[in-house]
Structure 1
Amino acid sequence: MREVVDGVFEVGIGYVHVHLVVTDDGVVLVDTGLPGRSARIGRALHDIRRKIGDVTTILLTHHHVDHTGGLAEVRRRSGARVVAHQDDVPYVTGEAQAYMPHPVVRLVGLFLGKAEPAPVDEIITTDSATPLPGFTAVHTPGHTPGHLSYLLDRDGGILFAGDAAAGGRSGKIGSAPKMVSADLDAQWRSVEKLAGLEFEHAVFGHGRALNGRAVEAFRAYVAAGK
């Protein structure tokens, strides 16, 4: 675990990150990581002198199992409300089953397991919604139809990009793995959308966080073209 900026912590769970945000009203959790690994979230909370009951809100970026694997357990133990976009809600609640056409992805899925379905307490239906004070939900479809990124109004702006993009080396960004994205053209437009915002820092579901004018890395990526 590392503190990206004051009160924002990045927690590695296998190959994916979840993020803890300490607020005046409790802890906000962005995504919940892989199935069967929620104990790692508990340890991270302990390390910052918090406990699972301090988690008041879980913001989901999208429905993929590596981001929702611990959702049901964390929600049961914390009582936190869950926020997701309407287009991904059926997959989170178990009403629909995601289909991954790429054979490698299907094979990996056998080892990862499935996320236990969980209720969604607040459904985002509009762009730029504010699920809680200081957070803006930005609809960034492509990786999944209901993918959300979140912009936190703190320290010049912190973008939680989820899998709309991935952190790269040397202060650059890249795309999320193409074989698991639903619509690559839509995903590109979402990155262009994020490049038009203002933020100093960016964190990702996969890859390195960026500190200091992180938006410029997005703009450079867009300028370079697909």
Structure 2
Amino acid sequence: MREVAEGVLELRMGFVNLHFVVTDDGVVLVDTGLPGRAPKVLRALSEARGTTGDITTILVTHQHMDHVGGLAELKRASGARVVAHELDAPVITGAAQPRLSPVQRVAGLLVKDPEPAPVDELLTGDGPVPVPVPGMRAFHTPGHTPGHVSYLLDRGGGILFTGDAAGSGGGSVRATPKAMTDDLAAARASVARLATLDFDVAVFGHGSAVRGNAVDRFRALADRQR
């Protein structure tokens, strides 16, 4: 667990990151990691905050198992309200089966399926999240999945929670792998859209945080994808 921006803690669990946003009313969790890792998430939060009962909201970026694997268990443990986009919610709740690429099917052989979890609040477009998270706005960024969402926190020059709309490596921002992307054209359009926002720091589901006018790295990626 490390602080990557003002009041934002990053927990790296293997190849995936999840993030805690500390607010006056409790902790907002962005994504939940792989199945079976929820006890580690709660333990890390306990060590950082002194309690495991202060997660008030869980913001889901998308339906993939490495991002919703601990959702059901963490919701039970905390009573947090879960927010996700309406297009990904059926997979998260178990009402629909995910559409998997060949690479994802192979990965699914190594990791158990996520437990279905309820979604309390559905996102249908851009705007403030529908539960009290001060300064947090949702942006529909489809492509990686149909209902992928990125979140922008109005704090310290702006902090973008990218999810898998993009990744990072070596201080630069890169596109997510084609083999893991549902709609490549939509994914590129989402990167271009994020490049029009204002933020100083970007954090990712995969890769290290980028600090210092991070939006410039998104603009560079958008230019490369034209």
Unaligned runs of 5+ in 2: none
**Percent of aligned positions that are identical:** 58
Q: Secondary structure, in 3 states, of the residue corresponding to 1:52?
A: coil
Structure 2 Cα separation of the partners of residues 162 and 59 of structure 1 = 10
Does the aligned pair in 1 maintain the 2:143–2:184 contact within 8 Å?
Answer: yes
Structure 1 Cα separation of the partners of residues 128 and 95 of structure 2 = 24
Does the aligned pair in 2 maintain the 1:129–1:138 contact within 8 Å?
Answer: no
> Structure 1, residues 189-226: CA drift from partner, whole Å, max 9, x if none?
00000000000000000011001100000011112235
> Structure 1, residues 36-71: CA drift from partner, whole Å, max 9, x if none?
011221122122124221000000000000000000
Does the aligned pair in 2 maintain the 1:52–1:74 contact within 8 Å?
Answer: no
Q: Which aligned runs of 4 or more in structure 1 are off by greater than 6 angstroms?
A: none
TM-score by length of 2: 0.96
TM alignment of 1:1-226, pairs within 5 A: 1-102=1-102, 104-131=103-130, 132-169=133-170, 171-225=171-225
TM-score by length of 1: 0.96
Q: Amino acid of the residue matched to residue 213 of structure 1? A: N
Does the aligned pair in 2 maintain the 1:30–1:59 contact within 8 Å?
Answer: yes
Q: What root-mean-square deviation, in Å, do the aligned CA atoms of Structure 1 and Structure 2 show?
A: 1.1
Does the aligned pair in 1 maintain the 2:188–2:225 contact within 8 Å?
Answer: no
Structure 2 Cα separation of the partners of residues 176 and 40 of structure 1 = 26
Q: Amino acid of the residue matched to residue 155 of structure 1? A: G
Does the aligned pair in 2 maintain the 1:86–1:123 contact within 8 Å?
Answer: yes
Structure 2 Cα separation of the partners of residues 130 and 88 of structure 1 = 16
Q: How many residues align?
A: 224
Unaligned runs of 5+ in 1: none
> Structure 1, residues 8-39: CA drift from partner, whole Å, max 9, x if none?
01101121000011100100000000000112
